[in-house]
Amino acid sequence: MPVFDFHVRLVPRPGEYERLLTVLDECQIERAAVAAGGTIDLRRLSRQLVEGGHVETDADNEAVLAAGTASGGRLVPFYFANPHRPVDDYARRGAEFHGLEISPAVHGVPLTDPRTEAFVAEAGRLAHPVYLVCLTRPGCTVADLTWLAGRHPEVTFVLGHSGIGNIDYHGVDLVAPVPNILVETSGGYSGVLRAAIDRLGARRVLFGSEFPLQHPSVELAKYRAVGLEPAQWALVAWENAIRLLDRTHPGPDGRFE
């Protein structure tokens, strides 16, 4: 059965493109959604998650776009937004990408901020899914994501890492009544993965690895431990991502209700 990794990063270092493809081959992953890595030093990011703060660094979206082209479509490029900049570049170049990432953890701009909403509105125009990770910080919580999704029902949001931390059962409960929010499950505990499948249904769950921070084999092992039915695994591992990203095969109203 084919596997689509919905969340990998391309770090701007020599050889990283080749390394990414090698790991995908080793793990028998056919395609992957890729966003820029290296926008912030990981030790600084770790500190920001605890103490707050932000950077205003632009991601290397050009490298991601080039990787998508070089891979012949195997790597599906996402535009990494910097809400400290105007939305103009994304509006101009967005059609070359297949999705949008917004990171309050990196850039510090809340989900409730008009600058974030400007990017989300443009994603709606481009029919892009919006991938993001929530924090405990005011304006950046899973509850704030549900507020944002309610204001933009035309946009499909993907909550990264099954919520905040490793045991965010509460986050799964919060997004359950909001049909235009899916969850990507890298990093969370297997118990939360099981809860997401049971509470949301397999049509609203996406396999992801967060490579290179997490090796895909770890996340594949987590799914094996949970033991999904073959039809569930087909949705999580492939069909949901294809329907979300392939504009020629949208789901009902472009959403996963």
**What are 174's two structure tokens?**
């919060």
Query: Which tokens is 224 given?
Result: 């094996």
Q: What is the 3-state secondary structure (H, E, C) of 170-202?
A: HHHHHHCCCCCEEEECCCCCHHHHHHHHHHHCH
Instruction: State the alpha helices, DSSP H only, in 4-152.
Output: 16-26, 42-51, 61-70, 88-93, 104-107, 114-126, 142-151
Statement: residue 93 has pLDDT above 90: yes
Edge-to-edge, what's the strand order for the sheet holding 157-159? Answer: 4-10, 31-36, 75-80, 99-102, 130-132, 157-159, 181-184, 205-206
What is the average per-residue pLDDT within 27-42? 96
Residues 106-112, mean pLDDT to the nearest whole number: 97
Percentage of the residues of the chain whose pLDDT score is greater than 70: 96
Q: What is the pLDDT of residue 246?
A: 79
Instruction: Say if CB 70 and CB 29 are below 8 A apart.
Output: no
Single-letter residue type at 216: P
Hey, what's the torsion of the CAs at 101, 145, 184, 187, to 10 degrees?
100
Confidence at 194, pLDDT banded by 50, 70, 90 = very high
- Is the pLDDT at 106 greater than 90? The verdict is yes
Q: How confident is the model at residue 88 (pLDDT cuts 50, 70, 90)?
A: very high
pLDDT of residue 253: 44
Q: Is 51 exposed, middle or buried (0-12, 13-18, 19+ CB in 10 A)?
A: exposed
Closest C-alpha to 144, from 121, 165, 164, 118: 164
Q: Would you state the pLDDT for residue 247?
A: 55
Give the pLDDT confidence of 151-189 residue by residue, as tens digits: 999 999 999 999 999 999 999 999 999 999 999 999 999
DSSP state of 241: H
What 3-state DSSP class applies to 166?
coil
How big is the CA angle at 152 (ends 57 and 105), to the nearest 5 degrees? 25
Helices (H) and strands (E) in the chain, counts: 12, 8
Structure-token pair, residue 166: 């490793």
Task: Tally the C-alpha atoms within 13 A of residue 34's C-alpha that lie toward its C-beta.
Answer: 33
Q: How confident is the model at residue 1 (pLDDT cuts 50, 70, 90)?
A: confident
| pLDDT bracket for residue 255 (50, 70, 90) | very low
Is residue 248's pLDDT more than 80? no
* Mean pLDDT score across all residues of the chain: 94
Residue position matching structure tokens 């974030």: 116
| Mean pLDDT across 138-142 | 98
Q: Is the pLDDT of residue 251 over 60?
A: no
Helix (H) or strand (E) holding 33: strand 31-36
Summarize the confidence of residues 97-117 as an average pLDDT.
Answer: 97
pLDDT mean over 247-254: 42
Query: Which residues 6+ apart lie within 8 Å of 99 measured at CB?
Result: 33, 76, 78, 79, 123, 128, 129, 130, 131, 245
The pTM (predicted TM-score) of the whole model is: 0.94
Which pLDDT band holds residue 249 (cuts at 50, 70, 90)?
A: very low
Please say whether the beta carbons of 183 and 196 come within 8 A.
yes
Measured distance CA(135)–CA(248) in Å, rounded: 34
